[in-house]
Copies of this chain bind each other. A is one copy, B any other.
Amino acid sequence: MANITKKVSWSGRGEDRGERTPLLNGAEDGKYNRQDFVRSRPKEIPHNEKLLSLKYESLDYDNSENQLFLEEERRMSHMGFRCLEIRRWVICGLIGFFTGLIACMIDIAVEKLAGIKYSVVKKNIEKFTEHGGLSISLILWAVLNSAFVMVGAIAVAFIEPIAAGSGIPQIKCYLNGVKIPRVVRLKTLVVKVFGVICSVAGGLAVGKEGPMIHSGAVVAAGVSQGRSTSLKKDLKMFEYFRRDTEKRDFVSAGAAAGVSAAFGAPVGGVLFSLEEGASFWNQMLTWRIFFASMVSSFTLNFFLSIYHGKPGELSSPGLINFGRFDGDTVQYNIYEIPLFIIIGALGGMLGALFNLLNNWLTIFRIRYIHRPCLQVMEAMLVAAVTATVSFAMIYFSNDCQPLGPDHSEEYPLQLFCADGEYNSMATAFFNTPERSVRSLFHNPPGTYNPVTLGVFTLAYFFLAVWTYGLTVSAGVFIPSLLIGAAWGRLFGILLSVIASSQPSWADPGKYALMGAAAQLGGIVRMTLSLTVILVEATGNVTYGFPIMLVLMTAKIVGDYFVEGLYDIHIKLQSVPFLHWEAPATSHWLTAREVMSSPVTCFNRVEKVGTIVDVLSNTSTNHNGFPVVTHTTGHDEPGKICGLILRSQLIVLLKHKVFVERASSRLIQRKLQLKDFRDAYPRFPPIQSIHVSQDERECMMDLTEFMNPTPYTVPQETSLPRVFKLFRALGLRHLVVVDDENRVVGLVTRKDLARYHIGKDGLEELHLAQT
């Protein structure tokens, strides 16, 4: 972790591919490895977390209000805006519907596949328990697990590496305004869904919730644009929404719909989307997000109710993810408050430990495990080890419990227990993690042996740490909840032993819930949205207050040690992520120090050759160019009169919107906003556009296409002030001007993101072309 220059695999590849794939979660770009790395095949990829990558581009949340745009808006009647608004609602409805459908599909597929697997293994175990030779069962189990995981990992590693992990860090970045390439493509969605089914069915310590959230975001990006690049299909619908501003709003809705489907928590979904992503809170937008959320959870519940054989019963308790906490047993007392705080603190510490271990592991992965084959092998290894550990624990535990008539276990393993009894360790391991959480929450007191729970917590903790960051599509929510539920229940059992006189309040299920909240809170550090998600997922409001308390404590304690898991992964990938506020002690800095300069500017009427040369310059690779009035002096910067984007220039070049020097103002073709929208979001690289020598001598009039009123700040503006403007409006470029309105610098995302509070006060990250 010393100051080694970071050379991750996608570095230094010029602009020929148009898009690069800097990946989160330690997964690497498969293609690149195979093509270019074969020759050198470095054993180690050095990594330094004090870097900020220059390779990420920003989304533009600020509309480019050029003449074309304004003309279109002005042509539109009030009725036209109404129709647009209705279309937005329709899109949100569709987003919710498809997200719910996909979530339902994942749910059912996982349940079916896991059911088949566990039945086969159970039969096998039962067979060999009598005859001896259980090692064959172990091998069967391990092989089955590895096979599932292998298929999933191959899909992820070789087809779409961005689909690795939970997807939440990527969505967080996207909503923050960082363009993560390929993150919202249809191909990613397919791989993600396929991958998560494999990895959950493969018995890994993973959940399907994160991928559902990512799926929602992809669905949103696809539906709102009315076309798919992967399918090469353009429905010619919703063309108005083909810009970053609108797309980002819909992706928020998609993420919310994903949460809503994953946990059955529509309000939690809205809050998640706001807590993680949004900055400017707009009432109408929030309502649309809410609507998408609502439709998504409705769709999921509707189809699941059919699947469960109770069509139309939308309020069936079986649809509540973690089981409904019953009205009578649900209570707590004021003297339990300190206990909840202790649980929260414990969760914060365990969460920090989890994050720290996973941080080291991820750095190790970035350095050494960057080839797809290795990644697949690691995933298979983890799957096999998970099966082995589970098997060993079940084998060596002799915690037999009577099998009641109303037992909730799907696959009770008798193993060495007496008839009519089952192995209780098996209920924890021999099950999908979601079901295990449910058992821990709701099984009556006495179901679990404290030793079993302790050993399980320990084993599962390390398995989960190892698993998160593998090249498989998988989430961390459910494993975290499971770890927490296990030690929370243990805590509850110990309490009831201590306070044996009053066993009624020390309900182990309640403490399992609190532990689950604490552990998850300690790992991901969400508070408001997580409270609501847990309340909605358990169908119970009464525990809302203790859950809040636990989550708050977990966050405060956890933050003392290390950041949240998602933030760690974002940082490890050197993403220029903008936090909510500028670092506290940054009033020393002004725009003058922060900005990049000198700035490449264009004249209002510029020579085509100049533009092509600037755009082709790979060493700078700017994306936004201030347009200035022509000045006489060469050294003196020009007065700002607009801002034009690389993407706009490329469309202009492609359509050859040139003015010949002699016959002034002879534009061959009138460009429309539609041309820009058709090219969005994958504008061709400059190299693909051929400009002849004659054309290089032509001029281009940018007046009509540039944004004539970019936001500007004076040089003396303090960093927090610049930051606030930039963040609140979701800008991509902020022009710094002197008191004559002459361009002196440009502030972009990386200029702001590189300042952060370190141990010795304000630190500056290095920028790197990695």
Chain A residues within 8 Å of B, Cβ to Cβ: 63, 65, 70, 73-74, 76-78, 81, 266-267, 270, 274-275, 278-284, 286-287, 290-291, 294, 297-298, 302, 305, 311-316, 320, 324, 326-327, 330-335, 527-528, 531-532, 535-536, 539-542, 544-545, 548-549, 552, 580-581, 584-585, 587-588, 629, 639-641, 708-709, 711-714, 716-718, 721, 724-725, 728-729, 737, 739-741, 757, 761
Contacts and interface: CB of A to CB of B under 8 A. Distances in A.
Given A78-B585, A335-B312, A739-B741, A716 B709 contact: yes
23 contacts: A65-B718, A65-B721, A74-B588, A267-B535, A279-B281, A282-B581, A294-B549, A314-B334, A315-B542, A320-B541, A326-B327, A327-B327, A532-B532, A535-B541, A536-B544, A539-B542, A629-B739, A639-B739, A708-B716, A709-B717, A739-B741, A740-B741, A741-B741
A561 to B, nearest CB: 16
A191 to B, nearest CB: 31
A314 B333 contact: yes
A463 B265 CA distance: 39
A645 B118 CA distance: 73
A737 to B, nearest CB: 8
A707 to B, nearest CB: 10
B548 A266 contact: yes
Nearest to A332: B315
Contacts of A536: 541, 544
B81 A584 contact: yes
Given A266-B548, A282-B581, A709-B716, A527 B725 contact: no
Nearest to A331: B315
A313 B334 CA distance: 6
B718 A282 contact: no
Given A267-B267, A316-B331, A327-B327, 5 more contacts: A63-B721, A65-B718, A78-B757, A314-B334, A540-B541
Contacts of A290: 527-528, 548
A92 B629 CA distance: 52
Counting every copy of the chain, the complex holds 2
A268 B219 CA distance: 29
Contacts of A267: 267, 528, 531-532, 535, 544
Nearest to A718: B65
Nearest to A535: B541
A517 to B, nearest CB: 14
B315 A528 contact: no
Contacts of A721: 63, 65, 709
Nearest to A714: B709
Given A709-B714, A739-B641, A527 B313 contact: no
A210 B560 CA distance: 39
A545 to B, nearest CB: 6
A14 to B, nearest CB: 36
Contact of A761 (B78, B311, B542): B78
Contacts of A305: 334
A537 to B, nearest CB: 9
A313 B297 contact: no
A535 B544 CA distance: 12
A294 B546 CA distance: 10
A210 B665 CA distance: 64
Query: Which A-B residue pairs are the 7 nearest by beta carbons?
Result: A312-B334, A81-B584, A73-B587, A281-B281, A315-B331, A709-B717, A327-B327
A691 B267 CA distance: 59
Nearest to A536: B541
Nearest to A584: B81
A629 B278 CA distance: 40
B545 A283 contact: no
A29 to B, nearest CB: 32
